[in-house]
Amino acid sequence: MTAGSARTSASAERLRQWAPLLVLAGLCVLIGFFNTNFYSFGNLVRLLNSAAIPIVLCMGATFIILMGSIDLSVEGVVALCAVIASLLVANDVNQVAIGLAAVPVALALGGAMGFANGWLHIKLKTPSFMTTLGMGFVGLGIATAILAGLTVRISDQTFRYLSLGRVFGIPMAVWIALASFIVAYVIQERTRFGRWIYAIGTDEVTARQAGIPIERTRILAFTLAGVFAGMAGVLAAAQFGQGCALIANGRLFTTVAAIVVGGTALSGGVGSVVNSVIGVLIVVVLANGMVLMGIQPYVQQGVQGLLIIAAVALALDRSRLAVVK
Amino acid sequence: MNRFDLQTWLPAIVLGVLVAAISVYDRGFLAPSNLITITGDTMTLFLMASGLTFVIMLGSIDLSVQAIASMASCIMAVYISRYGIVAVPFALLGGALAGAFSAIVSTRMRIPTFISTLAVSGVVLSFGYWFSDTRSVNIPAADRDMWLFWITGSFAGIPGEIWVGLVALLVLSALLQLSPFGRLVRGVGAQEQAVVASGINVDRVKFFAYVLSGFMAALAGVVMGARLGSGSPTLANEFLLPAIAAVVVGGTAITGGVGSVWRTFIGALIIQVVRIGMTFVGISVFAQQIVFGALLVAAVAITMDRSKVLVVK
């Protein structure tokens, strides 16, 4: 691909559309070739299980990136919601035990943080990456401060069932991820809000002239991303049986990597939540493959970093960017 | 007072008010020895933020400085007992290379810098783990005394790290205010298209700014490692937010064009004094991130030049 990507032919365009799926298929074949255990039912369930939380996170974050913005507060929201949820169910720190009622509380909290992101970003007119960077640290700070750096253990088994329980042999976390995907897909395809997101991402000035309520849509999108991040926090707490600020470590990286690897463009307007699911699967399969091949786990973040660069470089429509800051 | 003047002097006034407020409660605060200690503690933050200032002046961002500093501390700690002082330029070279990588990725592939440097931070983090073999590496006291005395020792009653910071302040200020490179950095931040139109190779300006940012982040990592007597792949993890905050609180706008290194110096001192003040009032170390996060958003909102951005993404 050269700088004159405006001349990209239709077939190349189609290839770019299908590239994420081809990459996923290629990876599966390659890893399966080296290690036949890859296709065992046990490993597939393990793959889906480790994809569950990233998928939930990506569902909301995709909308943000579709608008051409970014949400760097993912880790802060996940950490705070996980900590609050684990403090509300039966645990070893306090006497509160409201059971599954903790879930809506965590979702509302995530939504509130997302709303704060969007509201500050819109009202102060600050770029989203700065606003969410600051908010992310606020979230992490609160999560750490509540527990003074300690970890709270969850003893509520019903709550943990949200992640560990199995239906038809498949963990609840996977079903919840599937439900999140359906919700996000319906929002994207079947609501005015979903279409407005695409309009804003494609050309905000025109969208404004067409009468789309930009501010309201943006704030709503950030709120929605917060709710999904809250759900991810609940799932993380349920999965590990504990709440602490460290529970969110590395989540931002995986989320951004998955979304851009799936083919959603950072410049906005191009992509979908379906792409993001494929992107998550690519990232998870790659991580799983590296473990099967005995590569050190600390290399993974480096590989994901390179993956982000490669994917963004391939997906970005540079003709739209006069100045890159 | 117009907006520009306010932006120039407000940080210094804030710093003065903060220092005065704390010294009312704690009479010992203004004692020269205490002031020297505080300034010394601020130097690592300032070194990291000073290079970052150039990048932010361009209107870009570098989210990899904390990873670079950690990696540099690992390189230094691992090699100092084997190669002596050479380990330090080694570490600085590592930082400069990481900065160069960020610049190439963002200018050649035209990737927005907040994403390219985020990605590079992941790569650099992995390198830090690789150099240190995922452990925290101790620097033997003998090596520290022999090779790192210019950081840990003191001259004329003032700790070495303050001298390092002052030299950086002078050199980088001169570079930004007096050199052609500095003028181009300000130009790119103020109006990139105009600089491009006048035939300047903007990518090269950006390249050197990122190399400088990586270099200074690595120097901060070296100083940090020398002070603590060890290097670790997560040493500087908590420093990204304060570093950006120091630049922005000092009055450098994230939209680019407006700013200076001495403002960042004031900004770093403000961050340090706020931290001391919070500890003094009894706000836990854990909760301080909350204040810094809020401070960052507020400072960005105050300093940024909205006439430059039509659509805020």
Q: Where are the alpha helices (DSSP H) in A148-272?
A: 157-164, 172-190, 192-202, 204-209, 214-240, 251-261
Per-residue pLDDT reduced to its tens digit, A258-299: 998 888 888 888 889 999 999 999 999 988 888 877 888 888
| Angle at CA of residue A247, ends A242 and A249, nearest 5° | 170
Any bridge partners for residue B154, and if so which? B159
Q: Which of B57, B60, B111, B237 to mutate to test the interface with A (most CBs of A within 10 A)?
A: B111
CA distance B226 to chain A (A): 25
Residue in A124, A296, A305 nearest the CB of B119: A305
- Report the candidate in A111, A315, A102, A136 with the shortest Cα–Cα distance to residue A222: A111
Tell whether A309 lies on the interface with B, counting CB pairs under 8 A.
yes
Q: Which residues contact B105 (CB under 8 A, 6 or more apart)?
A: A309, A313, B111, B116, B119, B120
For B120, the closest chain A residue by CA position comes to: A305
Above pLDDT 90, what percent of chain B?
40
Residue in B112, B122, B312 nearest the CB of A304: B122
Burial of A275 (0-12, 13-18, 19+ CB in 10 A): buried
Report DSSP letters for B190-252, one per residue.
Answer: H-HHHHHHTT--HHHHHHHHHHHHHHHHHHHHHHHHHHHTEE-TTTTGGGHHHHHHHHHHTT-
Helix (H) or strand (E) holding B154: strand B154-155
Q: Which residues of B touch A69 (CB under 8 A)?
A: 313
Per-residue pLDDT reduced to its tens digit, B149-191: 788 878 888 888 999 999 999 999 999 999 999 999 999 988 8
The model's confidence at residue A12, banded by pLDDT at 50, 70 and 90, is low
Task: Please tell me the predicted confidence (pLDDT) of residue A322.
Answer: 54
Between A63 and B142, the more confident residue is A63
Q: What is the dihedral of CA B162, B168, B169, B172, to 10 degrees?
A: 180
For B284, the closest chain A residue by CA position comes to: A145
CA distance B292 to chain A (A): 8
Task: Please tell me the predicted confidence (pLDDT) of residue B282.
Answer: 80
At A240, give phi and psi (nearest 5°): -90, -10
Distance CA A63, CA A72 (A): 13
CB-based contact B313 A128, cutoff 8 Å: yes
- Report the candidate in A100, A101, A114 with the shortest Cα–Cα distance to residue A57: A114
CB-based contact B110 A316, cutoff 8 Å: yes
CB-based contact A301 B134, cutoff 8 Å: no
CB-based contact A325 B112, cutoff 8 Å: yes
| Window from A15-19, A27-31, A110-114 with minimum mean pLDDT | A15-19
Per-residue pLDDT reduced to its tens digit, A146-174: 888 788 998 888 889 888 888 888 899 99
| Angle at CA of residue B7, ends B4 and B13, nearest 5° | 135
At A37, give phi and psi (nearest 5°): -65, -20
Which residues 2-41 on chain A approach chain B with CB closer than 8 angstroms?
none
- The mean pLDDT of chain B is 88
Task: Please tell me the predicted confidence (pLDDT) of residue B309.
Answer: 64
Per-residue pLDDT reduced to its tens digit, B19-58: 888 888 888 888 888 889 889 889 999 999 999 999 999 9
Decide: helix, strand or coil at residue B311. coil
Tell whether A127 lies on the interface with B, counting CB pairs under 8 A.
yes
CB-based contact A308 B118, cutoff 8 Å: yes
The model's confidence at residue B310, banded by pLDDT at 50, 70 and 90, is low
The model's confidence at residue A3, banded by pLDDT at 50, 70 and 90, is very low
CB B225, CB B118: distance < 8 Å: no
CB B212, CB B264: distance < 8 Å: no
Distance CA B134, CA B234 (A): 9
For A260, the closest chain B residue by CA position comes to: B115
